[in-house]
Amino acid sequence: MALSGNLTIFVVILFSPNLHTPMYFFLSNLSILDITLTSSIMPKLLDICLTENHSITYIGCFTQVVFFVICVVAEYFLLAVMAYDRYAAICCPLRYVAICHPLRYSTFMNFYLCACLALVSWLCGLLDSSTYLSLLSQYTFCKSNVINHLFCDLKPLLKLSCSNTQSIESAIQVSGALFGFTPLVFIIISYVFIISAILKIRSTKGKQKAFSTCSSHMLQWSSCFLESSSGCI
């Protein structure tokens, strides 16, 4: 269901010229992220449920860690970029409408800028996961071979290591501040300007349209922040 739903979103956006806008471009990236995350975790989990084969290879376990970190970090930055996209769409000279004039809007968010921002988001995830992978590959795991989690996540793996894990724990804290807290602050600042601009819209219908445009994004980054706070990274 996750694969079919996200593939449908991606295909519809790809083959619908009227959806070739920055917002739907970033939504298609989020769909790809969800497909990648689901594909890296769910097949093994389903295998465990159906065959009761609870074993996982060393390489397979590390692969889950890498793709999970890539997807989570990239999602944080994509949501921050989408906040900038909403800021650019609303905070324009035509403040009395929820969505600004397309000709003016294109000066804020052109395709080249969108592609660069999406690429940077993916590269940040790749950089973060590469750091963890290089540190994990130096550790030995001798305490147990049982991972007390649904999949191979960083913290459950560290509990099994008999090496000194201070370096990777420090890296997790730095990563949380850099790749988690920074996008959150940027999103909050962006929405302060967004809400300020919406409140200046004179028509009630315009305000409702603007809030409806941004509400789903606000709920999504809020859920991601709560997920991060619960210790998923």
- pLDDT over 50 at 24, yes or no: yes
Residue 214: per-residue pLDDT: 62
In the chain, what percentage of residues exceed pLDDT 90?
A: 12
Q: What is the mean pLDDT of residues 46-64?
A: 88
- pLDDT over 60 at 71, yes or no: yes
**Domains of the chain, with CATH numbers?**
2-229 (1.20.1070.10)
Residue 10: per-residue pLDDT: 92
- pLDDT over 80 at 112, yes or no: yes
Residue 93: per-residue pLDDT: 38
Q: What is the mean pLDDT of residues 173-196?
A: 77
Residues 6+ positions from 63 with CB-CB distance below 8 Å: 40
232 compared with 66, residue with greater pLDDT: 66
Residue 122: per-residue pLDDT: 92
Residue 153: per-residue pLDDT: 84
Show contacts of 229-232: CB within 8 Å, 24+ apart: 231/155, 232/72, 232/153
Residues 6+ positions from 179 with CB-CB distance below 8 Å: 73, 76, 77, 124, 128
